[in-house]
Chain A
Amino acid sequence: MSTAVASRTRGDDHPAVSGRGSLAAYLVAFALVGLCLAPAVYIILGGFRTNSQIIRSPAGLPDPWEIGNYIGVLTGEVFWQQLANSVIAAVGTTVGVVVLGLMASFVIARYPFKAKHLMYSLFAAGLMFPVTVAITPLYIMVRDLGLTDTLAGVILPQIAFAMPTTVIILVPFLRAIPKELEEAALIDGASRLGFFVRMVVPLSLPGVTTVGILAFVASWNSYLLPLFLLSDNDLYTLPLGVQAFATQYSVDTARVLAFVSLSMIPALVFFSIFQRRIISGLTGAVKG
């Protein structure tokens, strides 16, 4: 996160470029943005076309504009059901990561006991185990706990896999809270727990927001885990649902595009609201 601060304060004092260099820079930037957005635009516009339009001219524009595909998806139950499942999974994961991560990080950051280094190393070691490596036995574990085909069975492992990054981001944050503040609170009669609830939680809000947003985005896009753990169509989150929809309506391309673009929109809206935090969080998480 230090990098984000640095970028904001330093950002504007770079030398301006003028003349040809600047024109070339704009052209390259423009082409780049175009390439990055083209597939998303193709998906969104494709949803406004009919299948015969798509067959006649695969890369054309809607002519005439056809909103039937979007209406069809929006008036069906499948999309809303899957949207709700995705929201539940993402919110559950985010809340869980924030609460459990903040409490564990607080202990590691501010309680003097020997095992805390061990605890930190344990969480940090988790960085080396991506979901891919653990997914097969994880499926067995979740099944034996009776949690397959429940959203809790997706949420709990997602919390667990988000813990390493969370702890690594939050511990330095919590360590930075001045000791004097804690002493003052203790003198005023607050317990250590009271200090945690009343002082630490509000003070660590920026770090918590970053961690929460990262967990939310990861859950929203998560595919492998729900693929293993959810077989009940009614519990499908959007990534699983999008794939199932595309298979089911493989001949109805326009409808698939409408479904795909509708399921893309929540993530894009979320990103446009929190883009600063997402970007600084990701670069901060990497650079420390």
Chain B
Amino acid sequence: MPWRRWAEIALLAGPGVVVFVTFVIVPVLMAGYYGFFDWSGYGIPTEFVGLRNYELILTDNAFLEAMWHNGFILVMSLILQGPAAIGIALLLNRKMRGRDLIRVLIFVPYVISEVIVAIGFSLMLHPTGAVNDVLDRIGLGGLAMDWLADPDVAIWSLMLILVWKYIGFAVILMLAGLQGIPDELREAAAIDGASYWRTQWHITLPLLGPTIRIWAFLSIIGSLQVFDLVYVIWGQYVADIAGTSTMATYMVANGRISGEYGYGSAVAVVIFLISLVIALVYQRYVLRRDTEGALTEGVA
């Protein structure tokens, strides 16, 4: 290849590669390196501690609880959002007046930043906030509670907010998946005498499989990263007490905030490895059935 061609390649791809490597690849590799040190973030890390950071993380109850919360969020997100999103998508896939507008409106929560969502909900869910007020007015005052501070309730409140924010995305994905299913299949089933629900169960749902599996993958990865909402509503220390801390809030509190950059990096590595193992297992056993899809190709 002539030198000129190489110069073009360097000129065009160079800047993007440099920025990407500097701010994504190198920091990720450095996290692996810093994780072996006891380091306050200044100068070159010198105090090599081997796997001690990892030992501390995996024996710290605060981390194990945070991990448990992530696991809870992961499972409940799938259980609460999946069936609801499929149901709503089936509903909106019919010909109905204002369908486009409805689709846009249920997507609004997804576009609002998590910080705004967090502040809005923390005001509404306050013991003297709007939610308890509404419950009172419709005669359900007995259900009023301290949604954010009560450790038995707080994580469910977090789930409620997460579902509110992210179900629109799930619905939109399912709708896109539904549109790819030829009507002829459903019509054929209807002609053969299958009821609406039987048709959905035996024809639509299996064909929607690839979409559901991709959505679940995104939801799982997202559940392992939850940070903004918890950090803004509870802050790290309250989150510990209220039982809503996540691995990411643990990382920030015990890394950056306490000036332990080696330890914080080790927590990042743990989060990454957990995500990686789950992603690989998921790809190996679930996504492998779908041969197509940019995401599966991209990651594998």
Q: Which residues of A contact B (CB under 8 A)?
A: 3-4, 6-7, 10-17, 21-22, 25-26, 28-29, 32-33, 35-37, 39-40, 42-43, 46, 55, 57-60, 96, 100-101, 103-104, 106-108, 111, 113, 119, 122-130, 132-142, 156-157, 159-161, 163-164, 167-168, 172, 192-193, 196, 217, 220-221, 223-224, 228, 238-240, 242-243, 246, 253, 256-257, 260, 263-264, 267-268, 271-272, 275, 278-279, 282-283, 285-288
Contacts and interface: CB of A to CB of B under 8 A. Distances in A.
A156 B95 contact: no
Interface string B181-200: 00100010000000010000
Given A58-B130, A160-B24, A133 B295 contact: no
B108 A42 contact: no
Given A104-B13, A132-B268, A137-B31, A256 B24 contact: no
A142 B227 CA distance: 21
B113 A40 contact: no
B179 interface: yes
A96 B256 CA distance: 28
B29 to A, nearest CB: 8
Given A133-B272, A271-B108, A283-B173, 16 more contacts: A7-B176, A14-B95, A15-B187, A16-B94, A100-B16, A107-B12, A134-B28, A134-B268, A136-B34, A136-B256, A137-B27, A138-B23, A167-B16, A221-B114, A221-B115, A224-B228
A146 to B, nearest CB: 14
A241 B23 CA distance: 25
B13 A107 contact: yes
6 contacts: A39-B117, A58-B133, A106-B12, A136-B265, A140-B261, A239-B115
Contacts of A129: 24, 28, 272
Contacts of B261: 136-137, 140
A45 to B, nearest CB: 10
A7 B119 contact: no
Contacts of A242: 113, 115-116, 119
A46 B15 CA distance: 47
Interface in B207-233: 211, 214-215, 218, 221, 225, 227-228, 232
B52 interface: no
A137 B112 contact: no
The majority secondary structure among interface residues of chain B is helix
Nearest to B132: A58
A25 B88 CA distance: 9
A103 B15 contact: yes
Majority DSSP secondary structure for residues of A touching B? helix
Contacts of B91: 25, 28-29
Contacts of B179: 3, 6-7, 10-11
Nearest to B181: A10
Interface in B110-148: 111-117, 119-121, 123-124, 126, 128-134, 137
Contacts of A60: 133
A36 B168 contact: yes
Contacts of B16: 100-101, 103-104, 163, 167
Given A107-B9, A136-B265, A14 B26 contact: no
Contacts of B176: 3-4, 6-7, 283, 287
Q: How large is the interface on B (under 10, 10 to 19, 20 to 34, 35 or more residues)?
A: 35 or more
Contact of A239 (B111, B113, B295): B113
The residue in A157, A260, A268 that gathers the most chain B C-beta atoms within 10 A of its C-beta is A260
B279 A156 contact: no
A196 B218 CA distance: 34
Contact of B19 (A10, A12, A163): A163
A279 to B, nearest CB: 6
B239 interface: no
Identify the 5 closest CB pairs spanning chains A and B, nearest first: A288-B294, A160-B23, A104-B16, A221-B113, A100-B16
A4 B8 CA distance: 34
Given A32-B88, A127-B298, A25 B113 contact: no
A124 B298 contact: yes
A4 B131 CA distance: 38
Contacts of B120: 39-40, 42-43, 260
B24 A37 contact: no
A159 B31 contact: no
Contacts of A132: 225, 227, 248, 251, 268, 271
Contacts of B164: 35-36, 39
B64 interface: no
A253 B256 CA distance: 30
B239 to A, nearest CB: 15
